[in-house]
Amino acid sequence: MKKIIEVNQLEKAYGDFQAIKNMSFSIEENKIYGLLGRNGAGKTTLMKMITSQIFPSSGELTVFGEDPFENKKVLSSICFIKESQKYPKMFSVQDILDVSKGLFPNWDHEYALSLINDFNLPLKKKVQKLSRGMLSAVGIVVGLASRAPITIFDEPYLGLDAVSRNLFYDRLMEDYGENPRTIILSTHLIDEVSNLLEHILVIDNGQLIINEDAESLRGTAYTVTGSAAKVEAFISGKETVHREPFGGLLSVTVIGKQNQLDRKHAIENGLEITPVSLQQLVVHLTKGNSDKRGAIAQ
Ligand SMILES: Nc1ncnc2c1ncn2[C@@H]1O[C@H](COP(=O)(O)OP(=O)(O)OP(=O)(O)O)[C@@H](O)[C@H]1O
């Protein structure tokens, strides 16, 4: 598939603080990416560089093969919906849609109006009178209806309730099916979106620690639980990222795919093997004490 964003040895420093460290990866067209990581990991900094809102300190960054800086053609192909997206206070929802229509070449106004209806948004109401959740919903409408070849949602749902978040996921999947484009979704609600994501990028402390197809990542870890001695014997020689003792029991998260021999060994020893969700995996790999994340990152 065609690479539309290419990042090579990218670095960003704020004064002495290195927010992005020697990062290299590419983003392909027509795929849904999850950009995940803890607070302060560097996700927004990276998205701001891709959308040319801030400059890299060093390294290369191209979007559609070009430098995005002051590049009208490139920037009109990107829609960036930020966390706590701000709009002029005196604008009505209708005004936001009208301005967006002029900004995004693929804008679908009819679709925007149907989304406004789905999210129960009042077209005539001014931004200053909208609730936080309603404002987030407006951002989501703009992001979806922009149909921008690169659509970036950075924690788009502050204040948005679970029903509206599910509506977002449903509409995103329906529209993506009909109008494929590249979506980058940055979120802390990993379990909610994990089925949507096709490729996972995890940033930790300014470094890219996972750059992996979602499907293959799903099977890369599992948890084994049972009597401590039997679990210890089971995990001997295996890569582990997390252990949780309780009483005489032990639960350990193992990095690697299970094979038939493992399953047989587990059954014979009364051990329970359970899959690790993407969220659990990201938590284990980014909580600061793991030295085993290279096993997945490579
Ligand atoms: N303008 C700035 N000046 C100085 N430091 C900054 C600036 N912007 C971000 N940082 C720092 O860079 C690091 C990365 O911040 P960034 O906002 O990119 O993280 P994030 O992964 O998006 O976090 P969150 O999930 O909380 O939004 C943080 O330590 C932050 O304090």
- Would you say the CB of residue 44 lies under 6 angstroms from ligand 1? yes
β partners of residue 3: 28
Number of structural domains in the chain: 2
- pLDDT cut 90: percent of the chain above it: 76
From 188, 216, 244, the end of a domain falls on 216
With a cut of 90, say whether residue 116 has pLDDT above it. Answer: yes
How many CB atoms neighbour CB 122 within 10 A?
13
Domain boundary at 216, 250, 277, which?
216
Q: Note whether 240 and 284 are within 8 A (CB).
A: no
Q: Is the pLDDT of residue 291 over 50?
A: no
Determine the pLDDT at residue 85.
Answer: 77
- Report the range of poorest mean pLDDT among 34-38, 223-227, 230-234, 281-285: 281-285
Q: Residue 281 has what pLDDT?
A: 87
pLDDT digits (tens, 9 = 90+) for 124-158: 999 999 999 999 999 999 999 999 999 999 999 88
Mean pLDDT (whole number) for 159-183: 95
Give the model's confidence band at 197: pLDDT under 50 very low, under 70 low, under 90 confident, else very high.
Answer: very high
Confidence label for 297 from pLDDT (cuts 50, 70 and 90): very low
Q: Which of the two residues, 2 and 1, has the higher pLDDT score?
A: 2
Strand order in the sheet with 3-14: 17-28, 3-14, 58-63
CA of 201 to the centre of ligand 1 (A): 17
Give the pLDDT confidence of 3-22 residue by residue, as tens digits: 999 999 999 999 999 999 99
Residues 18 and 138 occupy one common structural domain: yes
Q: Are residues 46 and 112 located together in one domain of the fold?
A: yes
Work out the widest C-alpha separation in the chain, in whole angstroms. Answer: 68
Q: Is ligand 1 within 6 A of the CB of residue 17?
A: yes
- Retrieve residue 128's tokens: 């200053």
Taking a C-beta distance cutoff of 8 angstroms, is the pair 162, 11 a contact? no
SS3 65: coil
Q: Please tell me whether residues 266 and 127 are part of one structural domain.
A: no
Q: Please write the tens of the pLDDT for every residue from 217-232.
A: 888 899 999 999 999 9
Does residue 204 contact residue 242 with C-beta atoms inside 8 Å? no
Which pLDDT belongs to residue 289? 46
Report how far ligand 1's centroid is from the alpha carbon of 222 (Å): 32
DSSP track, 66-89: B--TT-HHHHTTEEEE-TT----T
Would the pLDDT of 183 be above 50?
yes
Q: Which domain holds residue 102?
A: 3-216
- Residue 277: pLDDT above 80? yes
Q: Are 109 and 115 in contact (CB under 8 A)?
A: no
Distance 69 CA to ligand 1 centre (A): 21
- Asked if residue 250 and residue 168 are part of one domain, the reply reads no
CATH number of the CATH domain containing 277: 3.30.70
Same domain, 280 and 263: yes
Q: Are residues 88 and 204 in the same domain?
A: yes
Same domain for 188 and 281, yes or no, is: no
The mean per-residue pLDDT over the stretch 113-118 comes to 97
Average pLDDT over residues 182-204: 94
Instruction: Confirm or reject: Cβ of 39 under 6 Å from ligand 1.
Output: yes
The CATH number that applies at residue 176 is: 3.40.50.300
Q: Which residue did the predictor score with more confidence, 165 or 259?
A: 165
Q: Same domain, yes or no, for 107 and 235?
A: no
Query: Which atom of ligand 1 is found nearest the CA of 46?
Result: 18
Domain match, 199 and 242 both: no
Backbone angles phi, psi at 36, to 5 degrees: -120, 160
40: Cβ below 6 Å to ligand 1? yes
Would the pLDDT of 274 be above 60?
yes
Q: Let me know whether 81 and 130 are in one domain.
A: yes
Task: Report the nearest-CA residue for atom 7 of ligand 1.
Answer: 14
Residue 204's contacts (CB-CB under 8 Å, 6 or more residues apart) are 37, 38, 41, 285, 286, 293
Domain final residue pick, 159, 193, 216: 216
The pLDDT mean for the chain works out to 92
Instruction: Please tell me whether residues 113 and 237 are part of one structural domain.
Output: no
Amino acid at 142: V
Question: Are residues 111 and 253 both part of a single domain?
Answer: no
**Dihedral sign, Cα of residue 114, residue 99, residue 64, residue 83:** negative
Residue 288's pLDDT is 64
Those residues whose C-beta lies under 8 Å from the C-beta of residue 266, and which sit 6 or more positions away, are 224, 226, 234, 272, 273
Beta bridge partners of 208: 203
pLDDT at 30 > cutoff 90: yes
